[in-house]
Amino acid sequence: MKYRVWYSTESFADFVIDNTFLKNKTVAKKKMYESDANNAKNFHTMPDHIKKILYLDAPDLIVEIDHEPIFSVEVSTEAGTGHNVFQRFARLAASVENNVPSFYIYPEAVIITRQNAMPKWDKINPLIFQAMDDVMSIYQIPSLFYYFPSDFSSHGNSAAGSQNLRDKGLKFERNRNYAGSPLGSDAEMKKMFSAMNEIIRINEMHGVVKGRDKLLSTRSIMQRRTWMNQEFVRKNGTLKSSPLSATEIIPTAYLLNYLKKFETKNYKIGELLRSREETVVYKINAKFRGDPYPGALAAVDYLLCREGKSFEERRYNLIMVWGNLDVDTTNKTIKMSGNKGTIQDFFTSVQASEKKNILTKNYDQIKSSEIPRYYMQVRYGSSYSKVKHIRVFSYFADAIIFPDGSLWRDA
């Protein structure tokens, strides 16, 4: 069997390889390019089976056997309060939606140091555990969480006493070959390596396709899923936490009455929005931008809306609102106000991305090195040329509402 490890950071690739069964395999390391939007010179060289995982966002690592991805890894050292822990969620979803198990390494807490204040721990939002479990329930593919090693368990009541205060309380590998990686000898990382080894073992024994169906029933993965559910409860997780605290459920009729102003005698809103009686509104009163909102939107989908593997299989419509929303029960509609985000912000982001589209060029206008990229764009259009947040918003949201304009899908 031939193994390939696609990486964003080579030191992290070496960290995973040297701590798992991969160290005894023949492994080729390959640089991973995230999208056509941020690496036009190289992204078209990525194999098609890897592109499929990158269609929303790129994880830090993908491991494959004989051109079949077997798991992906995402690692972060950010503080996980509010929306923040969901910032990478679209990457996890993209992996699992393609039947590829995902691993998420994130701190239980991070030390925040501010001027004229004692250091304190910024703790993780436990709703992430429920969101990942919902993904597993829908796809029957593992999506497992592991704490980035830290001093929180030993110094949770005294951040100032952390031995790793300079590193925000986090424990990093001291081996320079693994620079920036979490401490591999930590119990959490050992459990993660064990789960990775289990995936490798099962795929080698049964093949990737049949092996996927067996993963959730393996003891180590079952135990981790149970632990995740227990952490949600132990940390007082609730469905009222962010980003769900920024959502509201309204009758779909109110949304349709609001969008009615866009209808003409030759055009009526399509059947998709009309097919669901209620709509989940994700409200963002901020300037139009990317992180952490793309990942949070994906999490809202799985936590509240999704009942199947496609966005068409939702209990509720899912819409984003940029601005202030008021529900007008008298007239059975919604009202929008605010000027932090405008419809032109969305269009400007799309237009900037389209500058990377070379499909309008003639054959004699493109270089030989651009021909494979041109051919990729012929197949996929500008899907990979758009910036991440535009890709994610348009993938998950049934509609996006601004005070001065709206976007929606009919099917």
**Nearest to 145, CA basis, from 134, 157, 159:** 134
| 373 domain residue, yes or no | no
Quick: pLDDT tens for 266-315: 999 999 999 999 999 999 999 999 999 999 999 999 999 999 998 899 99
From CA 295, how far away is CA 49, in angstroms rounded?
A: 22
Quick: pLDDT tens for 353-410: 888 889 999 999 999 999 999 999 999 888 888 889 999 999 999 999 999 999 999 9
From CA 169, how far away is CA 24, in angstroms rounded?
A: 33
Tokens (6 digits) for 59? 């994880």
What is the distance between the terminal CA atoms of the chain, rounded to a whole angstrom? 42
Confidence class for position 57, pLDDT limits 50, 70, 90 = confident
Where a domain ends, among 180, 200, 234?
234
Where a domain ends, among 202, 234, 266?
234
Q: What's the domain range around 323?
A: 244-344+389-408
From CA 169, how far away is CA 155, in angstroms rounded?
A: 9
Quick: pLDDT tens for 317-351: 999 999 999 999 999 999 999 989 999 999 999 99
| 39 domain residue, yes or no | yes
Report residue 396: phi and psi, to 5°. Answer: -90, -35
Question: What is the pLDDT at residue 174?
Answer: 93
Check whether 37 has a pLDDT greater than 90.
no
| Cα 292 to Cα 103, 129, 257, 288, 343, distances in angstroms | 19, 17, 30, 11, 19
Average pLDDT over residues 91-115: 94
Shared domain check, 81 and 228 = yes
| 372 domain residue, yes or no | no
Asked whether 200 and 93 are in contact (CB, 8 A), the reply is no
Tokens (6 digits) for 70? 């077997």
| 331 domain residue, yes or no | yes
Task: Report the predicted TM-score, pTM, of the whole model to 2 decimal places.
Answer: 0.93
Judged by DSSP in three states, 165 sits in helix
Shared domain check, 227 and 334 = no
